[in-house]
Amino acid sequence: MTEGATTTAIECLDSVVGQHEDSGAADQQHQQQEVTRIELNLLTGGHSDADAGKQQAVTMTNKVAKKEQLPERGSWGSKLDFILSVVGLAIGLGNVWRFPYLCYKNGGGAFLIPYFVTLFLAGIPMFFMELALGQMLTIGGLGVFKIAPIFKGIGYAAAVMSCWMNVYYIVILAWAIFYFFMSLRADVPWRTCDNPWNSVNCVNPYDRKDLLCWDSLGVNNTLTKICSLNSLNVTMSDLSDPVKEFWERRALMISSGIDQVGTIRWELAGTLLLVWILCYFCIWKGVKWTGKVVYFTALFPYFLLTILLIRGITLPGAFEGIKFYVSPNLSKLSESEVGCFWGLMIFGRFKW
Question: Would you list which residues are annotated within the binding site for Na(+)?
Answer: 88, 90, 95
Residues recorded for the chain: 352
Distance between CA atoms of residues 250 and 248, nearest Å: 6
Q: What φ, ψ does residue 227 adopt, rounded to 5°?
A: -125, 145
CB atoms within 10 A of CB 97: 11
Q: Which residues are annotated as a binding site?
A: 88, 90, 95
* Residue 96 Cα to chain centre, angstroms: 10
Q: What φ, ψ does residue 229 adopt, rounded to 5°?
A: -140, 120
Cα distances from 163 to residues 156, 159, 222, in angstroms, run 11, 6, 50
Any alpha helices (H) in 46-123, and if so which ranges? 50-67, 79-91, 99-105, 112-118
Q: What φ, ψ does residue 240 adopt, rounded to 5°?
A: -115, 155
Say which amino acid occupies 226: I
CB atoms within 10 A of CB 22: 7
| DSSP E strand boundaries for 273-345 | none
